[in-house]
Amino acid sequence: METITGTWTIEAIPAAELDAVRATMRDGAGNRLSVQVDADGGSPLRCCLRLSRPGERLLLISYMPPGGTGGYAERGPVFVHAEPCGGYGTPHAYPPELDGRRQVVRAYNYEGRIADGILVEGADEAVRIIDDLFTQPDIELVQLRNVGYGCYNFAVRRG
C-alpha cells in the first residue's frame, strides 16, 4: 500500500450523501434505484474504495463528484454498497485494491475548471503526480477516474 504524506487526503463519497440516497432509493439525478447482487465481484466501490466481493449487494447510482463547476461539472455511474459500510478508513494511504489500475489523475483549479489530466499506471505513479499537482497553488482538488469508462473513483484534497 502506497502511504502518502499528511499534505493531502483521499476521499470516498461521503457517508452522509450515501445515507440520503439509500433512505430515498433515489440518486442525485432523481433516478429510482434497485439493489443488485454482484455475482462475480470486482466492481470498484466508491463508498469504501475497494472492489466488491461476489454476492455483495450494490447500488449503481448517478453521482456528481466534487471538483468541476459549470460545464466542467460531470455526473456519471458509480457503484456503492446497498447498505452502509465502514467507508474508507485510511485517507493517507492509496486504496490498495485500486492499485495497478490505469487511471486519469484530473486536477481542478479553484474556479472548478480542469487544469490538467495525466494518465497513470498505478499507485506509485499516481502519488507522485498528485504530489506534483499540489505544488501548484491554483490546484484545489484532484479526481482519479477509470480510463476505460471514465468513471469517477475518488477525490484528493489538500491537507
CATH number at residue 75: 3.30.1740
pLDDT at site 4 = 59
pLDDT category of residue 107 using cuts at 50, 70 and 90: very high
Number of domains comprising the chain: 2
**Any domain includes 110:** yes
Residue 6 CA to residue 139 CA, distance in Å, equals 17
Average pLDDT over residues 66-95: 95
pLDDT category of residue 153 using cuts at 50, 70 and 90: very high
Residue 146 has pLDDT above 70, yes or no: yes
**Any domain includes 1:** no
- What lies within 8 Å, CB to CB, of 152 at 6+ separation is 46, 63, 65, 74, 76, 78, 143, 144, 145
**Any domain includes 42:** yes
Residue 118 dihedral angles phi and psi, to the nearest 5°: -130, 130
* 53 and 100 housed in the same domain: no
* 136 and 118 housed in the same domain: yes
Burial zone of 98 (CB within 10 Å; 0-12 exposed, 13-18 middle, 19+ buried): buried
Provide the residue count of the chain: 159
Cα 147 to Cα 56, 91, 120, distances in angstroms? 24, 23, 9
Host domain of residue 54: 14-81
* 18 and 70 housed in the same domain: yes
**Any domain includes 9:** no
pLDDT at site 148 = 87
* 72 and 55 housed in the same domain: yes
**Any domain includes 3:** no
pLDDT at site 70 = 93
Q: Is 88 helix (H, G, I), strand (E, B) or coil?
A: coil
* 95 and 77 housed in the same domain: no
Average pLDDT over residues 7-20: 96
The least confident of 4-8, 62-66, 96-100, 150-154 is 4-8
Q: Is 127 helix (H, G, I), strand (E, B) or coil?
A: helix
